[in-house]
Amino acid sequence: MAEPFVAIGGDAAGLSAASKCRREDPNREVIVFEKGSWVSYAHCGTPYYVKGEIEDLTDLLSLRPDEIEERGIDLRRHHEVVGINTTEQVLRVEGPDGTVEQPYGDLLIATGARAVTDPIPGCDLDGAFTLHGLDSAAAIRAHVTDPDEIDPEAVDESFVDRDRVRRNASMAPPDAVAIVGGGYVGVEMAEALSAYDLDVHLFQRGDHVLPAFGAAVAEEVEDHLRKRGVELHLGTEVERIDGDDRVSGVEHAGRRVDVEMALVGIGIAPNAELVDGTPIERGDSGAIATDEYAETTLDGVYAAGDCAEAIHAVTGAPTWVPLGLTANRVGRAVGTTVAGDRTPVGAVAGTAAVKAFELEAGRTGLLEDEAREAGFDPMSTTITAGSRSGYYPGAEPTSVTLVADGGSGRLLGGSIVGKDRAAVRIDTVATALEAGMTIDEVERLDLAYAPPFSPVWDPVLVAAKVLAGELAE
């Protein structure tokens, strides 16, 4: 009998792989090690739990531990894999009862990523947070709300870090908060924390928030954030978080802003150190290098999710794009491969969406600067068109940026921003991108038209038509 298929990590990639392998090969033993309490949860939903739109923390669970075990998966929470002996194919695992060794046949490393706080001092003060995991979301919500808002009986006792939640609930709620970092987390949490009538200061080291979405999107988002009362500090690097035991302010360029809470969202780093000292290689990004099947540089060892690289759909080169769909999709493919049907995982284009109060934004592929860095000769255009027929109620301006290669006309990427179903329109661009379409081909797409949903010329088609004309000049 084959040695078990073992997944290290009990979230999107690990459990997708484990579940698919069990379905395809019911006789295969499948073990999942998870060093924490939470498994199979929706990390992207945490800002909306903090805001209060999601009532219970457990609503963010895709599968509960008992449901996972019902699938025939041997789930071992509170077990951390601390070493991989690739010669003997044995893992060293630390658990509640000590250290054990676990043989494996096929192995998936799905250890995720962690929030980055360096080089900002003061992140260990009470009132300083990162948003990475459900325990941190629970602590933040407890910190800004009445302690009765979190019902201890509503959450499985084995799940939540209750001491941390109670400690934050016992503190006086803040009046002002500093959000350090203007990416996805920073923008979404500006909305979430504004719901508590806090003075929200958002600090961004670069000139714009949401740098991955391009200047056209960022400028609209910035204007909207200001209108909703968020004070933006652009081109401003926070040097330290001040306080004795609790946060009292943040310092930047010799200045100080008084706040009682700080949320640091300056990025994440892959949890890939486990492979150091083994034949499993890391890529230039620091994440684990993989091929088109998510296999690492060692046969039978796979990596997926936020700890692993993937192939970029436009450049064909390795890239690190830590997003939820990628983790689920790659995990599922790995499970199929391990069960005997070798399945490619597909490329990634970095397709993403973000919400800032009433404004939505989406992006995919390469924007102009990224395309130039990748060796293309990019041309881009930005247009604004109505989201519905002009005479139909609810129409909103929708701005679309498309980027194409000047020589071949090939679509390279794009971004979208607006208030009326703007973000989902990026899926049209992403699909065309994956298909390798030219701008001329995108212009000829037969998209649906009805006044409640779109004008005759969808904003994506308008952008393609304008860019096609510019390329032809």
pLDDT at 219: 98
pTM over 0.85: yes
Q: Mark whether 183 and 299 lie in a shared domain.
A: no
Determine, yes or no, domain membership for 43.
no
Question: CB neighbours (10 Å) of residue 278?
Answer: 16
pLDDT at 157: 53
pLDDT at 82: 98
pLDDT at 173: 86
Q: Which residues of 152-171 are buried (b: 16+ CB within 10 A; e: fewer)?
A: eeebeeebbbeeebeebbeb
Q: Mark whether 401 and 466 lie in a shared domain.
A: yes
Q: Which residues of 87-119 are buried (b: 16+ CB within 10 A; e: fewer)?
A: eebebebbeeeeeeebebebbbbbbbbebbbee
Q: Mark whether 281 and 241 lie in a shared domain.
A: no
- Identify the H or E element spanning 463: helix 459-472
- Give me the phi and psi of 336, to 5 degrees please: -65, -40
- Identify the H or E element spanning 216: helix 215-227
Determine, yes or no, domain membership for 65.
no
Q: Mark whether 152 and 262 lie in a shared domain.
A: yes
Q: Mark whether 258 and 161 lie in a shared domain.
A: yes
Catalytic residue among 21, 44, 123, 307: 44
Q: Which residues contact 287 (CB under 8 A, 6 or more apart)?
A: 270, 272, 303, 306, 307, 308, 309, 320
Q: In the listed set 278, 304, 338, which residue is the last one of a domain according to the structure? A: 338
pLDDT at 473: 85
Question: CB neighbours (10 Å) of residue 353?
Answer: 19
Please provide the average confidence, as pLDDT, over all residues in the chain.
95
Q: Mark whether 164 and 237 lie in a shared domain.
A: yes
- Give me the phi and psi of 148, to 5 degrees please: -70, -10
- Give me the phi and psi of 256, to 5 degrees please: -135, 140
C-alpha to C-alpha distance for 384 and 398, rounded to whole angstroms? 5
**Residue ranges of the chain whose pLDDT lies below 50:** 152
Query: Would the CA dihedral through 293, 295, 301, 306 be positive or negative?
Result: negative
Enter the tokens of residue 215: 């200047």
pLDDT digits (tens, 9 = 90+) for 396-442: 999 999 999 999 999 999 999 999 999 999 999 999 999 999 999 99
What pairing do the DSSP bridges indicate for beta strands 411-418 and 359-365?
antiparallel
pLDDT at 167: 75
- Catalytic status, residue 123: no
Question: Which residue, 3, 14, 135, is CA-closest to 68?
Answer: 14
- Segments forming the whole domain that contains residue 306: 5-36+78-114+269-338
Enter the tokens of residue 90: 């044995």
pLDDT digits (tens, 9 = 90+) for 317-361: 999 999 999 999 999 999 999 999 999 999 999 999 999 999 999
Q: Which residues contact 283 (CB under 8 A, 6 or more apart)?
A: 289, 309, 318, 320
Q: Mark whether 301 and 366 lie in a shared domain.
A: no
Determine, yes or no, domain membership for 49.
no
Q: Mark whether 260 and 281 lie in a shared domain.
A: no
C-alpha to C-alpha distance for 353 and 93, rounded to whole angstroms? 37
Determine, yes or no, domain membership for 51.
no
Q: In the listed set 303, 338, 373, which residue is the last one of a domain according to the structure? A: 338
What pairing do the DSSP bridges indicate for beta strands 30-34 and 5-8?
parallel
Determine, yes or no, domain membership for 346.
no
Determine, yes or no, domain membership for 62.
no
Count of structural domains, the chain: 3
Question: Which residue, 201, 305, 192, is CA-closest to 247?
Answer: 201
- Identify the H or E element spanning 334: helix 324-338
Q: Mark whether 379 and 252 lie in a shared domain.
A: no
Q: Mark whether 167 and 214 lie in a shared domain.
A: yes
Which CATH number belongs to the domain containing residue 444 in this structure?
A: 3.30.390.30
Which CATH number belongs to the domain containing residue 10 in this structure?
A: 3.50.50.60
Determine, yes or no, domain membership for 348.
no
Decide: 177 and 212 in contact? Cβ < 8 Å.
Answer: no
Decide: 216 and 401 in contact? Cβ < 8 Å.
Answer: yes
From the number of C-beta atoms within 10 Å of its C-beta (0-12, 13-18, 19+), residue 268 rates as middle
Query: Which residues are registered as beta bridge partners of 98?
Result: 95
Q: Mark whether 248 and 274 lie in a shared domain.
A: no
Q: Mark whether 202 and 306 lie in a shared domain.
A: no
pLDDT digits (tens, 9 = 90+) for 358-370: 999 999 999 999 9
Q: In the listed set 304, 338, 372, which residue is the last one of a domain according to the structure? A: 338
Determine, yes or no, domain membership for 73.
no
